[in-house]
Amino acid sequence: MMIANLIAAAAAFTLTFASVVVGQTKEPVGSETAPPKLLVLVYQRFSFEKGRDHDKWEIAAARACQKLAVPNSWIVLDSITGEPEVLSFDPFDSFAQLEKPVAEWGSIYATHPELGRLQAQINAALVSQRTVIAVRRDDLSYRANQIDLSKARFFRILEVQLHPGRENEFAEAFQKLSAAYEKTESDLPWVVYQVNLGMPLPTFLTFVPMKALGQNDDLLKRRESLHAAEGDAAERMQQIAREAYATTQSNLYSINPDKSHVSKEFAAGDPEFWTPKPQVTAKRGKKRSGNSGVETPNQRK
């Protein structure tokens, strides 16, 4: 539902998209659960006092949308490190695909006022919000065609802001890094997105989906072998980092399926996680008189 926040920014969707997608031709396998070509990212921070209420409202909104024909899906991430925030990303294939949800959400809220009230409550609890649009860069990613987002539980996200005009150096560094990962045969793929709108440019975002937090241990163990695989390229990569990178920030997020709204095809990749069945609590029977052969709590004391 975060796409509703884009209505005010609709006028900014211009042909700037075309300048970023040159050279991106590789198609990930399994389009429904693969990293999308276009990401709409919404970073939100909420007042501490309304934290629990906010969670309740977002879950209620996501459940309401499951019963409606809403025009888009979204995945919600809760921050584990860094500032407390909620990060939502909506997947799209193009800017043109954004036109439908931007046009339809207003009428959805008008037709379903209870959903509109939930969104109004969520907005009232906001402390800050920013919306970012980023485009997938397969040429800078590592085995992105093996990523299945439906299996992810956590994300490491690296944000790199460059000094102006240093995009080619960043590309060089990440292509060398990808080559080093290939040499070590790492089974932890990642995908790079280039920010197109909403952040100081140039900025790149690297998403590392993880099935478990333990994969962070694997990253630490691979440091030495990765450095060795970089070989002569290591010094050049360090030089680029010193000269081209303005700021870098890496944070960890967990996926919240209750707040998310994904398609049936996406959820089919791991239905127990995305659409769990409600647990049935067995009713406790009345105590029998006498000894039934089963110890009661009082008998065990």
DSSP string, 81-95: SSS--EEEEEEES-S
Residue 141 structure tokens: 């990613």
Residue 293: strand, helix, or coil = coil
Model pTM above 0.95: no
**Is pLDDT at 224 greater than 90 in this prediction?**
no
Q: Which of 28-37, 248-257, 279-288 has the lowest mean pLDDT?
A: 279-288
Helix (H) or strand (E) holding 70: none
β-sheet bridge partners, residue 90: 40
Burial class (CB in 10 A: 0-12, 13-18, 19+), 78: middle
Q: d(Cα 246, Cα 38) in Å, to the nearest integer?
A: 24
Distances (CA, A) of 69 to 125, 137, 237: 26, 31, 48
Q: Which amino acid is at 78?
A: D
pLDDT over 90, % of the chain: 69
For position 52, what pLDDT does the model report?
82
Helix (H) or strand (E) holding 30: none
**Is pLDDT at 285 greater than 70 in this prediction?**
no
Burial class (CB in 10 A: 0-12, 13-18, 19+), 140: buried
